């Protein structure tokens, strides 16, 4: 099925900002470009169903030769072939805790996959007494579709009773380090651990590919867990390498979704400060959005976009060059933002009719694969 979509809903010249509804909170941004950017020029795209019949897909990674790895939350990892056909589940992965927001989550391949065939993934790990944590593992994918030499490289600590807010993006880097994002399991007794550097709740984690801590991590030799890079995060479900390094995106409560560029050892505020409010309307933490010693987001959304996977566009379509494409779970679709000098200067909402978008992968030919979790499909989107 192929559709040409002209996403022209409002006259661009008459609309200063993206249409998104009234905010939940009454905070003023800390600087002019921090929220509600001007609308970008309307995109024209074609949308094609590339693969279907998946069960709550969550993460996607490109393999050599036109194949892809896709996770399904119940615990299955599959190969999607160049013709869109879907393989049987790959054998050898560990069991997952698939309750609520848990399951098999992100997947990525080694920068040296052509020679080492190493795959990395994250998942909700089941523990005794129905406790749970975010975990990451690696393995070697055989040519006949089995995962071998499986080993854990990260296990969140301490265990939680609450099977939500796992975070869970993973990015292996060419220098042998690996980025992992975590959540704070949401409940009041757990969320405060985002401020506790003796836990790995609500953190950006940086490890070596064997699970050890790089010697230049900010808390090595200081109070705090050596694998922590930054803290004070809520539920980081998007991460990508872009201008200047790692960028992340996390869910706020009612309002306050945040785009951040996490710096070593910095505190990003949750649950002390936020640009949102609790779901019942009460203030978050201090009731403030700004506090000394805590970082400001590069950009925030209120109302939320409920962000998921994201990718910087490095394909040949000049109108999108360098833009960040973000999957949205609510209201759904894709959010395109333009970043200049670490500030957001424009935003566009795309593909709102395609449900909850879990992950995004930019292909060499300039097209983009998006995972629709609610439709169980992989869609190929080509900008025109």
Residue 92: what pLDDT? 97
Residues of the chain with pLDDT > 90: what percent? 95
CATH of the domain at 57: 2.120.10.30
Q: Is the pLDDT of residue 16 over 90?
A: no
Using alpha carbons only, what angle is made at residue 247 by residues 242 and 250, rounded to the nearest 5 degrees?
A: 145
100-112 pLDDT, tens per residue? 999 999 999 999 9
Residue 18: what pLDDT? 84
Beta bridge partners of 307: 328
Instruction: Assign 226 a pLDDT band (cuts: 50, 70, 90).
Output: very high
Q: What mean pLDDT is predicted for residues 219-238?
A: 98
DSSP-assigned letter for residue 320: G
Domain that holds residue 13: 2-383
Active site residues: 165
Q: Is the dihedral of CA 84, 316, 1, 104 positive or negative?
A: positive
Q: Is the pLDDT of residue 49 over 90?
A: yes
Residues of the chain with pLDDT > 70: what percent? 96
Residue 31: what pLDDT? 97
Average pLDDT, the chain: 95
Q: Which region, left, alpha or beta, applies to residue 341 given φ > 0 means left and ψ of -120 to 50 means alpha?
A: left
Contacting residues for 339 by C-beta, under 8 A, at least 6 apart? 242, 243, 298, 322, 323, 324, 345
Q: Is the pLDDT of residue 343 over 90?
A: yes
User: Domains in the chain: how many in total?
Assistant: 1
- Note the residue count of the chain: 384
Q: Is the pLDDT of residue 283 over 70?
A: yes
Cα distance between residue 68 and residue 52, in whole Å = 13
Contacting residues for 108 by C-beta, under 8 A, at least 6 apart? 59, 61, 119, 120, 121, 170, 171, 172
Tell me the whole-structure pTM to 2 decimals: 0.95
149-179 pLDDT, tens per residue? 999 999 999 999 999 999 999 999 999 999 9
Give Rg (Cα) of the chain.
Answer: 20
Residue 14: what pLDDT? 38
């Amino acid at each position: 099925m192929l559709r040409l979509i002209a996403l022209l809903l409002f006259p661009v010249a008459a609309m200063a900002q993206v249409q998104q509804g009234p905010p939940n909170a009454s905070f003023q941004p800390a600087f002019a470009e921090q929220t509600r950017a001007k609308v970008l020029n309307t995109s024209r795209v074609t949308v094609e169903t590339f693969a279907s019949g998946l069960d709550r897909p969550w993460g996607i990674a490109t393999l050599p030769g036109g194949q892809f790895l896709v996770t399904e939350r119940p615990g299955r990892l599959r190969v999607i072939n160049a013709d869109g056909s879907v393989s049987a589940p790959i054998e050898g992965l560990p069991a997952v805790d698939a309750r609520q927001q848990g399951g098999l989550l992100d997947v990525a391949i080694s920068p040296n996959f052509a020679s080492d065939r190493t795959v990395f993934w994250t998942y909700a790990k089941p523990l005794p007494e129905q406790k749970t944590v975010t975990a990451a593992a690696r393995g070697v994918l055989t040519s006949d579709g089995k995962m071998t030499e499986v080993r854990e490289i990260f296990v969140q600590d301490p265990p939680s009773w609450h099977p939500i807010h796992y975070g869970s993006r993973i990015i292996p880097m060419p220098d042998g380090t690996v980025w992992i994002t975590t959540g704070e399991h949401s409940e009041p007794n757990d969320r405060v651990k985002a401020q506790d550097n003796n836990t790995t709740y609500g953190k950006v984690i940086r490890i070596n590919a064997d699970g050890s801590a790089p010697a230049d991590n900010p808390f090595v030799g200081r109070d705090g867990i050596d694998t922590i890079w930054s803290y004070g995060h809520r539920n980081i479900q998007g991460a990508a390498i872009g201008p200047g390094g790692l960028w992340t995106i996390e869910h706020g409560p009612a309002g306050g979704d945040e785009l951040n560029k996490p710096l070593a050892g910095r505190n990003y505020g949750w649950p002390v400060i936020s640009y949102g409010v609790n779901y019942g309307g009460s203030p978050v933490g201090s009731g403030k959005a700004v506090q000394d010693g805590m970082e400001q987001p590069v950009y925030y959304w209120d109302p939320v976009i409920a962000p998921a996977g994201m990718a910087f566009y490095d394909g040949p379509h000049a109108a999108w060059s360098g833009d960040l494409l973000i999957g949205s779970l609510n209201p759904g679709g894709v959010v395109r933002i333009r970043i200049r000098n670490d500030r957001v200067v424009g935003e566009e909402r795309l593909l709102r009719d395609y449900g909850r978008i879990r992950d995004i992968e930019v292909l060499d030919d300039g097209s983009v694969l998006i995972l629709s979790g609610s439709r169980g499909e992989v869609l190929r989107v080509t900008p025109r």
